Amino acid sequence: MINEESTLDQISSFNRGIVQRNPAEFEFHQAVQEFTESVMPFVKSNSKYDDGHILHRMTEPDRIIIFRVCWEDDSGHINCNRAWRVQFNNSIGPYKGGLRFHPSVTQSVLKFLGFEQTFKNALTGLPMGGAKGGSDFNPKGKSDREIMRFCQSLMIELSKYIGEDTDIPAGDIGVGGREISYLFGQYKKLTGRFVGTLTGKGLSYGGSLIRTEATGYGVIYFTGHMLGVINETLKGKKALVSGSGNVAIFCAEKLIDEGAKVLTLSDSGGFIHDPDGIDQEKLEWLKDLKFIKRGRISEYVNKYPNAKFYKDERPWKIKADLAFPCATQNELDKNDAKNLIENNILLVSEGANMPSTLDAAKLLQDAGVIFAPAKAANAGGVAVSGLEQSQNALRIPWSREEVDGRLKQIMEHIHKQCVEYGSTEEKSINYVKGANIAGFVKVADAMLAYGIG
């Protein structure tokens, strides 16, 4: 009991230091707190990590690059945005992580994402360090030419800090195939080199098959393993999915493929509930709506009138077996968790990064809901980015089967690591603890091996 209390004190004291050193960076505080709650007891029982002050060292990013991005809109008006690249940790490989374009982007958001990316990438077993970048630029309502000018302007500066062996950006919220293509085209022009410095590229210019689908598919492969532990499968399960972007759509696609019934999808305007289930045909219509026409999820009910649109609401009050938050951070709070628990949800698997608040994650786990943290569940996207890098270096593209097979193996490997470090005395698996400690060990051992620096 005394030991437990002293570890709790050490966690709070460490997190007070984080808050003092990083004032007002709330998302970063949250990500570090979640991590230290499971890792601190492990560090305290392993003197090599404790003596090496590893936790303090790994919560300090290697560097943050901040720059101005000016661009001209279609009416000739000059706009100015702020952009960042947070190069968090390259102990086990070159920096790797996405770029986010969204008005809510701040240094705190990118630090939380870069921090989590470091451990997520370690879990994949591929040699990738952690980074994240992006801008407070809002791509909504912008023309293709405006997006192009913004991407080209951003790359003029970013190109100085990235490279196929130093830092390899990719997509995230607001950055998909169109943006990566503009960014890569500009990088190629500025450097005169055709190398795999960005991932998520188009298939005819160095992209990998399955990269678009990888995050969502990976979430479902991981979820399948979690259900396997309790002798369950996805077949016939009712699922809530939030978001309607890259991760959500392909999470829904693999759920449908596995015989589950997808009841909801959402965007920042609200969610749709289709009691008949969203089948593959409806999903194809949605892909066209969201990825080509760049429309809103509310339009779904005009096409499929049996469905209902809930303006400005989130899907977590609908009764189902499985929940997949796939939109953004903190989109599932304490009240949402209470609703899910009241409705006997079996499992929550995080497709987005840090979609559950600390309170919500704790409530769900305490209630016995099987809970997959983002670091483990959504690592399939960056894993296939790593495979894209391998194909670029080899100058040989792999088949769909080859890439999908490797993605499946990687998600199984991540699940095994969670079981190794997260198995409890009550014979259940604490996936949060398992993922955090497994990722930590890999990065920490490399940092210790390099000495102090």
DSSP secondary structure, 125-165, as one string: TSS--EEEEEES---TT--HHHHHHHHHHHHHHHTTT-BTT
Contact 353, 116 (CB under 8 A): yes
E strand intervals along 278-321: 308-311
Rounded to whole angstroms, the Cα distance separating 35 from 345 reads 25
Residue nearest to ligand 2IT (CB): 98
135 binds, among ligand NDP, ligand 2IT, none (CB under 5 to 8 A by kind): none
Instruction: Choose, by CB under 6 A, the member of 224, 243, 315, 386 that binds ligand NDP.
Output: 243
**Closest CB to ligand NDP among residues 384, 441:** 384
Dihedral sign (CA 21, 27, 32, 38): positive
245 binds ligand NDP (CB under 6 A): yes
Rounded to whole angstroms, the Cα distance separating 373 from 164 reads 29
Smallest gap, in angstroms, from Cβ of residue 353 to ligand 2IT? 5
96 binds, among ligand 2IT, ligand NDP, none (CB under 5 to 8 A by kind): ligand 2IT
Rounded to whole angstroms, the Cα distance separating 114 from 100 reads 11
Q: Looking at this protein, which amino acid is placed at residue 269?
A: G
Q: Which residues of 90-114 are buried (b: 16+ CB within 10 A; e: fewer)?
A: bbbbbbbbbbbbbeebbbbbbbbbb
Rounded to whole angstroms, the Cα distance separating 224 from 383 reads 18
172 binds ligand 2IT (CB under 6 A): yes
268 binds, among ligand NDP, ligand 2IT, none (CB under 5 to 8 A by kind): ligand NDP
Active site residues: 132
In angstroms and rounded to an integer, the radius of gyration of the C-alpha atoms of the chain is 21
In the beta sheet, which residues pair with residue 163?
167
386 binds ligand NDP (CB under 6 A): no
Rounded to whole angstroms, the Cα distance separating 93 from 90 reads 5
268 binds ligand NDP (CB under 6 A): yes
- Restricted to residues 12-71, the positions that interact with ligand NDP (CB under 6 A) are none
139 binds ligand NDP (CB under 6 A): no
- Restricted to residues 315-354, the positions that interact with ligand NDP (CB under 6 A) are 326-328, 351-353
Backbone angles phi, psi at 157, to 5 degrees: -85, -45
Q: Binding-site residue total for ligand 2IT (CB under 6 A)?
A: 12
- Token digits of residue 283: 């999903």
Instruction: Choose, by CB under 6 A, the member of 61, 93, 98, 206 that binds ligand 2IT.
Output: 98
Instruction: Choose, by CB under 6 A, the member of 174, 206, 315, 386 that binds ligand NDP.
Output: 174
**Closest CB to ligand NDP among residues 42, 324:** 324
Kindly list the residues in this chain that would bind ligand NDP in the complex (CB under 6 A).
Answer: 102, 104, 171-174, 176, 215, 243-248, 267-269, 326-328, 351-353, 378, 381
Residues that bind ligand 2IT (CB under 6 A): 96-98, 117, 120, 170, 172, 199, 353, 381-382, 385
